[in-house]
Structure formats: C-alpha cells, structure tokens
Chains A and B, each alone.
Chain A
Amino acid sequence: MSTTSAKPRGVHDAPRYGDRIFAGAATGAGVIILLVLAGVAGFLLWQALPALTASPEDVRGGKGLFEYIYPLAFGTILTSVIALVIATPLSVGIALFITHYAPRRIALALGYVVDLLAAVPSIIYGLWGVYVVAPASVPVATWLSNWLGFLPFFGPSPSASGRTTLVVGVVLAIMILPVMTAVNREVFLQTPRLHEEASLALGATRWEMIRQAVLPFGRSAVISGAMLGLGRALGETMAVAIILSTAVGVHWDIIGTANSSTIAADIALQFPESSGLDVNTLIAAGLVLFFITLLVNMAARWVVSRRSEFSGAN
C-alpha cells in the first residue's frame, strides 16, 4: 500500500517501527475483512449455483427462481422502508432531546435507557409484537382502511389479528432505533461547542442554533446511522418470522392478512425442513439480500458524498 509508507506529517526521518507495525496491523485488519467477505460471497455463490442453473419447475414454488425471490425482495424492502420512515425522525428527535434538551444530569441516564432497547433479543421483540403491538394495531388498521382505503397500502379488509406488514415495520423501527439514536447522539454531542455558542450569542433560539450548527454537522452521520439501522432491518429474521402472516406473492396492502414475506424471515422459516435444491434456492435468496444491501449502501454513499463538505475531520 502506498499509504503505509507515507511519512507522517512530523519532521522525523528515522525509521519508525512502531508506525510501520501499526499501519500494517490496520491495513491487515481491513484485508481480513475483505477476505472474510470474499469467503462469504464465494460460499453464497457456490451454494446458490445449483438453484441458478436449475430448471424453473424444480425450484421451490414451481415457477422459477425469479418468481420465488422477487416477492420476498419486495417484502424486505417494504418493511425496511416503513421502519426507516418511522425511525429516522424519531431517532433524530430522541438524540436531540438527550443532547440538547434534557437536563445534563438526566441526559446520560436517558441515553442509557434508549440503549437498553438494543439489549432486547429479537425473539422477544417478535413475541412482544405478536402479543402487544398486533392486537393494539387492529383499531388503527380499521381506521386506516376506512379513511385512507383509496391508497393501495390500506386494503378493504384489515387483519383481525394484526399480524401485518405495518406492525412488522413498527417493530423493526423500534428495533433499529437504539443503533440510529446512539450514532446521532454521539455526533450531536461532538458538535463544536464554539459553533453552538456563536449561534446562541447572535441571538438564535435553541432550535435555530440546532438548525444552524448541530444538524449540518451531523447530517452525514444521520445518514450513516440510518444505513446501520437499515442494514439491521433488512436482515432481521426472528421478529419478522414470528409476527408476520405471510403469503406468496407481492402484496401492497400493509394491513391485510396476506403479506409478502421477507428474505431473511423466509430463510429462517423454510431452512430447517429444507433439503437439496430448496436449500440452494434459499441461499440464492440470501445472495439477493446481499445485493439489495449493496445497492442501498451505494445510494447512501452517493447521498453522503454530495454533502460531505461540512462534516467531521476534513
């Protein structure tokens, strides 16, 4: 690597073994990650290959690989988008509350409390979703169906048990809140004190100060945090598997009994009893999830890079 041999900005010319070793270790760690990922990708490809080349009738569902996977991809994206739409403003609000609104002494404790949400295993979220959120969602779903039924998302016959895409989206949002909030919180805390004070000194209200100093500073991190959350939402398995009443095919209706399953949940649901080509099919679905994450992250990177002028270390 050319970077490893780059001299520090100091003035010393003597060889610095410490520097070399440290730089080597840092580079090595990066290379290890790439190797692992290559290993995972290779493993996925190797395992998915039989399904890619199999004739359509033999693939699970009997209509070919594409027909099997694309509704799952749709469900994955739909639930994750719902979760992200709910969680992003919430996490920014919570992080702002902790860093700029709550009294300082309470703020630490509050941050801790939100972190606790991350400590809850996903199975528990699944059970909580089924036993608490799902029944509570039924009146909301009925209302949505009555008043907003003209939208494709709200079908005419809402589920009586509440085990719907909407509920999964809400539960996923709560699951990804802690990660997103933690990133936002740390970044908002790092806003240069001087920027904030300058803004306040000019007579800005607290909200104006936040808009002028805190939010621009944290923007790329908010997106970054959202990507972390999205990664978790896309790959979430158990909670979705336990809550969702799934059905084959694409379903825009997010409050009905027929919901598109997600890739990760489908793998968890079908994998244990599968064998032979069915396993290959599921791995191929995993490969697709891999690519979805790839595309989403490319998009996010692109957004961040367009706005990278004013953030963090330059």
Chain B
Amino acid sequence: MKRTTSAWSAVPAALAISLTLTACGAANEDSGSGSSASGSASSGTSVSGTIAGAGASTQTVAQQTWKAGFEGANPDATVNYDPIGSGGGREQFLAGATQFGGSDAYLKDEELAKVPASCGEVIEYPVYVSPIAIAYNLKGVDNLKLDATTLAKIMKGEIKTWDDPAIKALNEGVDLPNTAVVPVHRNDESGTTENFTDYLHAVAPDVWTDKPSGTWPVSGGESAKGTQGVVQAITAGEGYIGYADASQTAKLGNAQIKVGESFQGPSAEAAAKIIDESERVPGRGQYDFAIDIKRDVASEGVYPIVLASYTLACTKYADQKTADLVKAYLSYTVSPEGQKAAADAAGSAPISDGATKNATTAINAISAG
C-alpha cells in the first residue's frame, strides 16, 4: 500500500521538489519587504503594512505604476490591486473586503445606502481620466472628421459605406472610398461602452435613442472582447471603426470629433479639461466628488468622449496604521508625480489642479477610529 501510494503522489511530489528548488526569493525582492506585513516600521514618516483594493480593470496599469512607485519609496508597505472589474470592486469595497476600490462609474444611490457605518463617510473622486478614441482603419484617410450625429449613425449601422454624403460633408477634399463601414463594439460589459453610449445619447439623442449602458444596446456590426479585441478587429479589417482607450489606438487612425464649431482629437490635455467643465453630482456627501461629465460641451480644446475612473475609500479605518497607509497611498496617486507616472505608463490624462485639490481635501479627511 505504502509503495503504491507513493506512486500516486509522485506528480505532486515532483512538483513539491521543483518548488523547494525555486522557493528562495525573487532577485529583485530583498527579504525584508516581502508581501507579509512586517510590523516593525522603519523610522521617519514611512508607512508599513498591506492594503488591498479591487475594481476596474481600466486602472490596471495605473495602479501597477502607483504601486511600484509607492512601494519603492515605502519598502515596508505593500499595496495590492485586483483588476476584477468595477462591479466586483464596488461590491467588495462595500462589503469591507478591500480598503479602497476602483470603479468606472460612481456609486449608485442604492449602493451608497450600503456603505457600512464603520466606513464613516464615503470618499469618491476621479483618479484616472482617459480619452476614448474613435479608431478606424481606412487606407489613405488620415484625418477623419466626424460629428456626434454621424458617429451615432455609423455605430448604429445606418451609414453603410465610407463615401456616404454625411461623412463627405464633414471631410471636404478627402477622397473617401466606397468601402463598407463595419462598426466594432465591445461585447463585454465595460465602462468604456457606458461612457461612449452616454456621449452618443447626450449629444445625438435624435439618432441614438438608447439609454447609456455598459452593454452595447444595438444589434449589428462586429463585436470583440476588451480593448485589445476591438483594436485587433479594427487593425485586421479594412473599413472597420470602433471605440477604444486612446492609449492603445496610436497605430490606427483616430477620428477628430466636432466640439462646438471646431474638431478635437483624443489628446490627454483635452480629456483632462472636461472634468473641470463638468458638474458635481448633487445631493451626495462632502467628500463625494462624483461628476456627471458634460458631454455636450462646446468649448474649444475639450474632448468630450472620456472615461473617468474613480477611487472609492472611507474616511474611517479600523486602526491608525491602515489609515496612514491608505492616506499615504491615495495621496501619492493624485499627486502630480503619481499622475505623471500613470500618464507615462498607461497613457492616461493627468487630472487637473482643481480635481487634485478636491481629491486631496477628501484624502486628508481619512483618519482612524
């Protein structure tokens, strides 16, 4: 029996052997700063411990960047971020499973009611702002100009070919081919889709009658999973057009969108400006900086198709150490330094001074107790 049993467990045993051979620490981690929360905080203002957040996958790279920068300055601290999606992130944050959350949409009213009393007041502010590009693949056309109505018609499948009069009218002098227009949309529920449909619904309500939603509301066209899937589909298909995070569409054509009387491409600066132009959602807490993005903005140099992803946090944490760590980390994420690091690594738009001031006010309210 014994001998035979050892045969059955040979596979895990072999695994265990290879494990003991390798389990001696990664070359870039010194033994003091592992994932375990070492209690002995080093001197000075440095913070220690482990906190975790979960939520929107749009923030993945930004959070990785902040985590790396923050942990570099505070070797005894570990910050984890699980990119499980906004829905899961909000749910876990409300359940007290995570210290902070990331979400592509601000908390709904019924979710606000679920904020536990131990949390104190809920903190909400946009931390990650990124333009959504209208990317297309059309040989010989570099500077496509579109307005909201035409874009809505394209995405609905009402405009069939690229030499449609509506597109021609906006692009005088451009030689548009007779290629079929294939609109590409996300088939996974996403904050990107919600922001994009919100734009179409707000600016072209006559054509785009569907309410903004995270799932694509109209049928027709192609669909693909995630930003990468959409970018891949557009890259592969001549005449394809779709919407995707601007940081990943650099190799495709990016349409300029009519704002007021001028046309604006998806630049980071133009995206950041929309946050200042937008209004705070009324009737929420003093540290709740949720905004309704003003899609029908008419000012020059503002790009209205943006995604604003939020940080969710509490004003109260159970102990001083956690409160200090959350405070320090969130302060870093909204600092000019942190925002610049995210912009370099993830292609996001650094939040404006006004937005930084709001966020800092909220973060400073964090305390233990």
Contacts and interface: CB of A to CB of B under 8 A. Distances in A.
Nearest to B110: A276
Nearest to A273: B189
Contact of B104 (A163, A273, A276, A279): A273
A110 interface: no
Given A160-B182, A273-B104, A246 B88 contact: no
A40 to B, nearest CB: 20
B264 to A, nearest CB: 28
B85 A273 contact: yes
Contacts of A244: 187
Given A273-B85, A274-B189, A160 B237 contact: yes
Contacts of B232: 130-131
Contact of A270 (B188, B191, B221): B188
A271 B215 CA distance: 11
B187 A274 contact: no
Interface size class of A (residues with CB under 8 A): 20 to 34
A308 interface: no
Interface in B201-216: 214-215
A161 interface: yes
A120 B11 CA distance: 19
Interface residues of B, number: 33
Contact of B222 (A159, A248, A271): A159
A135 to B, nearest CB: 7
B219 A135 contact: no
A249 B223 CA distance: 14
Contacts of A246: 187, 223
A52 to B, nearest CB: 20
A275 interface: yes
A60 B216 CA distance: 12
Interface in A114-135: 130-131, 135
Nearest to A241: B225
18 contacts: A130-B229, A163-B224, A163-B233, A245-B187, A246-B187, A247-B223, A258-B220, A269-B225, A270-B188, A271-B87, A272-B86, A273-B87, A273-B188, A273-B191, A275-B86, A275-B90, A276-B110, A278-B87
Interface of A: 18, 60, 130-131, 135, 159-161, 163, 241-242, 244-249, 257-258, 261, 268-276, 278-279
Closest 10 pairs (CB-CB, A-B): A272-B85, A275-B87, A269-B188, A273-B189, A274-B87, A245-B222, A246-B187, A270-B189, A273-B85, A273-B87
Given A257-B222, A271-B85, 19 more contacts: A130-B229, A131-B232, A135-B236, A163-B222, A241-B225, A242-B225, A242-B229, A247-B223, A268-B188, A269-B189, A270-B188, A272-B88, A273-B189, A274-B87, A275-B87, A275-B90, A275-B91, A276-B110, A279-B87
